[in-house]
Amino acid sequence: MPTLETGTRLQVQIIGQLAERGVQLRPVTPSGAQSPEARAPSFNAQLATPLPSALLPGNQAGPRMALAEVVRTEPRLEVRLLPLPGSGPTGGTSTSVPATGANPGQASTSLPATGQQDPAQWLLRELRHQIPGARSLANGMQTLQATLASATAAAPQPGANEGPLLPAMNRLLDLAPPAVRLVTPEGVHRHMQQSGLWLEAMLAQGARANGSTAPAQDLKAQLLRVAEHLRQAGENRAPPPATTTPSTPPAPASAAALPPLGPLTGLVEGMLKRITTLQLQSLPSSVQGDDEGQPRWFFELPFRSPQGIHALAGQLQHEAGRPPDRPEGWTLVLDLDLQALGPTRVAIALRDDRVSVHFTAERPETAASLQSGTPELRQRLIGRDLSIGSVSVREGRVEPQDPASVNLRDGLLDERA
C-alpha cells in the first residue's frame, strides 16, 4: 500500500461509489496486472471534485481505472480522480490545472481542464454541492460558543476523549476579533487575509519555502482542526450501554460535557462549506464563464460585539477601466446587521484617486444618524490625505450580495428537478 500524502498520484481501480461523494479505490500497478494474492487493500476516500464524464459508470470497458491525486489527508482523505491517457469513450486525456499560490488574491481551488468539461460547468456543479449545506460563520461560531460554555459549566475538567477538542474550539472562537479591530484599514486587511479565503495559496507558498505548518491564525485552518478533533472524539467516545442496572456506576460528568457530536460535526462541515463557497465565487471571472467580468473576492469576517458574534460580509472588486470614459478603480462593499442599526451597507469606491462612500440603511433612524455623521466622516477622510468624491446616505432595502445570488452563466437552480 503506497504512502498517501498530499500531492501523491497513483493509479487506482474504482471499485464502487459511496454516499456523500465517497469512493472505494484499490491501488494497482501501471499495467494493471496483479495476481489476487498480490492485490493491494482497498481504501475509502472523498471526492474533492466531481467525477469527470469519462469515469462515470458505463464509460469505460472493463474495470474503471483512474489516476488518483491526493488533495488532503486530514480531517479525511480526499482525492481528485483523473482519466488515464487513452481512457474513456473518446480516448482523450484529462489534466488538472491548479491555480498558482503566487498570487494570494485568487483562491487556489484546482480546476479541471478537459476538452469535454467547461470550467463554468464545473464551478456550477461545485456550488450546487456546497451551497445547500453551507452555514453562516457568525451563527456557527455563536452556536459553538454557547456549546463550549455549557460544556465547561457542566464539566470543568473534560474527559480525555474530548480534551483536545475544547482548546481547539477556543482557538477557533478567538479568531473572531472585537469590533474595534475592524475600524482601521490595517485591521480589515489583516482579518481579510485570515478569513480562510487564501489558505491553500498560503500553504502552497509555505511548501515552496519548505514550510510545513498551516497558518495558526487562519479561520479555515482552525475549522479543519476542530473537524479533525470532532472526528477523533466521535471515534473514541464509547457507545452508551444497552441497559442500566442499579449496580452500574453513573458515568463521569466529563463524559457528557458535550452534546452528541453529530450535530457539531455537521455545523463545522457547514462552516467549511461556507468558506469553500466564498473561495469558488472568488475564482477568476474566466472560470465563471464571464469574459467581461473583473476580478472580485468575496469574504465573511466574524467579529464580536456586546450582543454576540456577528459577521461583516464583503465583496472587493477591481475594475480595469475603459479609458478615457471609465478610469481604473476599486470597489469595496460591506454588509452588516447589528441589533442597534439593522441591515446596513457601505459601498466605497476609488476612482481617479478620489474616494466616494455611499451608505444604505433599512431603518429610518439609522439613515438619519448616518446622515448627521457625514461631515465628520469627510473630515476624517481628508485627515488621511484622501480626495473626496462624494459621501451620501439613503434609506432603502439592503439586498443580499451573498455569492449564492451571483448570476452564473447557467444559473444555480435546476428547473427540471
- The answer on 5 and 149 residing in a single domain is no
Lowest mean pLDDT among 25-29, 364-368, 395-399: 25-29
Decide if 28 is inside a domain. yes
Is 289 a member of any domain? no
DSSP tally for the chain: helices H, then strands E: 9, 13
Question: In this structure, what CATH number is given to the domain that contains residue 380?
Answer: 3.30.750.140
pLDDT of residue 271 exceeding 90, the answer is yes
Comparing 97 with 169, the larger pLDDT belongs to 169
Q: Are residues 88 and 21 in the same domain?
A: yes
Does residue 75 sit in the same domain as residue 144? no
| Domains contained in the chain, number | 3
Q: For 318-331, what is the mean pLDDT?
A: 76
Q: Does residue 410 lie within any of the structural domains?
A: no
Closest by alpha carbon to 55, among 14, 95, 24, 96?
A: 14
Residue 303 located in a structural domain? no
Residue 103 in domain:
no
Would you tell me how many other CB atoms lie within 10 Å of the CB of residue 158?
Answer: 21
Q: Are residues 139 and 269 in the same domain?
A: yes
Residue 358 has pLDDT above 50, yes or no: yes
What is the pLDDT, as a whole number, of residue 377?
Answer: 92
Q: Which long-range CB contacts under 8 A does 42-45 form with residues at least 24 apart?
A: 42/15, 43/1, 43/4, 43/77, 44/18, 44/77, 45/76, 45/77, 45/78, 45/79
- Please state, rounded to an integer, the average pLDDT across all residues of the chain: 75
Residues 81 and 124 grouped into a single domain:
no
Task: Dump the DSSP string for 79-93.
Answer: EEEEEPTT-STT---
Most confident stretch, 77-81, 249-253, 256-260, 269-273: 269-273
For residue 390, the SS3 value is: strand
Measured on CA atoms in the order 365, 367, 372, 376, is the torsion positive or negative? Answer: positive
122 and 87 in a common domain? no
Residue pair 173/308 in contact (Cβ under 8 Å)? The answer is no
Q: Are residues 134 and 227 in the same domain?
A: yes
Question: Which of 287, 341, 323 has its CA nearest to residue 121?
Answer: 287
Q: How many CB atoms lie within 10 A of CB 175?
A: 22
139 with 59, same domain: the answer is no
Q: pLDDT: is 215 or 115 the higher one?
A: 215
Distance in angstroms (rounded) separating the CA atoms of residues 389 and 360: 17
Which of 34-38, 237-241, 298-302 reaches the highest mean pLDDT?
298-302
- 137 and 230 together in one domain: yes
Q: Looking at the domain assignment, is residue 314 inside a domain? A: no
* pLDDT for the residue 342: 92
The pLDDT of residue 371 is above 50: yes
75 with 148, same domain: the answer is no
Q: Is 103 helix (H, G, I), strand (E, B) or coil?
A: coil
In a domain, 205, yes or no: yes
Contacts of 69 (CB under 8 A, 6+ apart): 7, 8, 9, 79, 80, 81, 82, 96
CB atoms within 10 A of CB 177: 16
pLDDT over 80 (residue 115) = no
Residue 9's pLDDT is 78
Q: Which of 383, 394, 309 is nearest to 347 (CA)?
A: 394
Domain span at residue 371 reads 320-403
pLDDT band at 165 (very low <50, low <70, confident <90, very high): confident
pTM: 0.65
Q: Is 14 helix (H, G, I), strand (E, B) or coil?
A: strand
Whether residues 32 and 173 share a domain: the answer is no
370, three cell numbers = 448616518
297, 401 Cβ separation under 8 angstroms: no
- Strands 342-351 and 354-361 come out as antiparallel
Return the closest-CA partner of residue 312 out of 187, 130, 138.
Answer: 138
One domain, residues 126 and 88: no
Note the pLDDT tens digit of each residue in 275-286.
Answer: 999 988 888 765
- Give pLDDT tens digits for 143-154: 999 988 887 777
347 within domain boundaries: yes
